A = this chain, B = another copy of it.
Amino acid sequence: MFENAKVEAKANIYFDGKVTSRTLHLENGEAVTLGFMLEGSYTFNTQKKEIMKVTQGAMTVLLPNEESWKTVSENEEFIVPANSAFQVKIEKYADYTCYYVTED
């Protein structure tokens, strides 16, 4: 549960709606997005470093500079470096939380 969040009413829509997320602005000035991906293959670009936590379902990811895909299940997370790209394959669906990390 996220407390004292400012939540944007409109979803962020990607890939014709097969990937959507909602932005929460937290009290500490940080933002997280709560997202949902349906079946498909997607490539995402990062600006900040991201911590992606799967909250329901599963996603299979290929991280930058890695050669093998790995499946990330409920309650597992992975880290994506800033200014990079990662690929995701979804078999059924994945519900996730994305934390954006500001680095010094």
Binding site for B on A (CB under 8 A): 1-11, 13, 16-18, 20, 22, 24, 34, 36, 38, 55-57, 92-93, 95, 97
Contact = CB atoms under 8 A, between A and B. Distances in A.
B2 A6 contact: yes
Contacts of A2: 6-7, 9
A34 B9 contact: yes
B11 A56 contact: yes
Contact of A4 (B4, B22, B36): B4
B11 A7 contact: no
Given A1-B7, A2-B6, 14 more contacts: A3-B6, A4-B4, A4-B5, A5-B5, A9-B97, A10-B56, A11-B34, A11-B36, A13-B93, A16-B93, A17-B93, A20-B20, A20-B36, A36-B36
